[in-house]
Amino acid sequence: MDGVIPLNKEIGQTSSDYVYKLRKILHTRKIGHTGTLDPLVNGVLPICVGQATKLVNTLTGSPKEYEGEITLGKSTTTEDREGETVDEQKLTKPFTIDELNPIFEKMTGDLTQIPPMFSAVRVNGKKLYEYARAGLEVERPERHIHIYDFHIMGEPVFDEATGYQTIKFHVKCSKGTYVRTLAVEFGHMLDLPAFMSQLTRVKSAGFPIEETFTIGQISDMMDNEDYSFLRSIDDVLTDVPSYELNDEEWEVRVLHGGFLEAVDSDKTKQLRVQRDGVTKALYKYDKVRDMWVPDLMLLKNN
């Protein structure tokens, strides 16, 4: 079994929980996920199976899209609703959309983030959340990220009783972005404490949430020998330019990890080399050699 499952992760489960469950359901150990989702976050979690596990790093590095909610007026230790209150500053009146839109605009493009203490980033061999749980704070490495799009969704909601204002948003961001931290930084731009009160990943590796399957659906489909939940490697790589190999290129070169010459394709992108319409490997252009060289070997069978 080779391919990618567009899984719909539920709140309360870890990404590793699903890998464990799917190994039992699919009766295979060769499974990997493409980017951790916190237990409080639900949505699209592509799962690679069999030969497709070689694509884990490629898919993990692709942009992702989320819809969520920022709450102004309070900050927490974890930057989300799970943590304890750190600071509270009630709003006396709500911000208007016209006042909020410039903040969203300022927070697009190339940004620098410092990962939250409650995260799985490793410093000196230990995960940051291990330091945080021990009551320690350590220096954290900066991350350079890119925000492709960040905008408000609908009307913000102001609660006069609590003094909090909630703002729904959509964001498209690069690998390594902590959306929790975006919410906190959004509050900083308004001189207010803030936290991420809800988050759903709505797109990852090209899969929108509408095309995902729950773990229950996958289990039922397996019982009925229905494997339509599994997407082929070619389905996942449709955005990568393709090239059909001739007999000599396949048998003499690619099958043995050799180079390719004179392929007319965008040299700034990977090249998906195919045999009979099936992707066999990903190549990249080498300027020094002026040739296409193997980047990732996928299927070597004839």
Active-site residue list: 38
Q: Name every residue whose Cβ is closer than 8 Å to that of residue 301 and which is 6 or more positions away in sequence.
A: none
The one-letter code for the residue type at 69 is E
Contact 284/253 with Cβ under 8 angstroms?
no
Q: Which of 97, 69, 94 has the alpha carbon at shortest distance from 159? A: 94
Beta bridge partners of 112: 144
Q: Which of 291, 93, 55 has the alpha carbon at shortest distance from 192? A: 93
Q: Which of 270, 189, 191 has the alpha carbon at shortest distance from 237? A: 270
- As a whole number of Å, the end-to-end CA separation of the chain is 17
The one-letter code for the residue type at 254 is V
Cβ count near 192 (within 10 Å): 18
Q: How far is CA 133 from CA 140, 151, 194, in A?
A: 16, 34, 21
Containing 5, the helix (H) or strand (E) segment is strand 3-9
Q: What is the DSSP string of 133-200?
A: HTT-------EEEEEEEEEE-S--EEETTTTEEEEEEEEEE-TT--HHHHHHHHHHHTTS-EEEEEEE
The one-letter code for the residue type at 167 is I
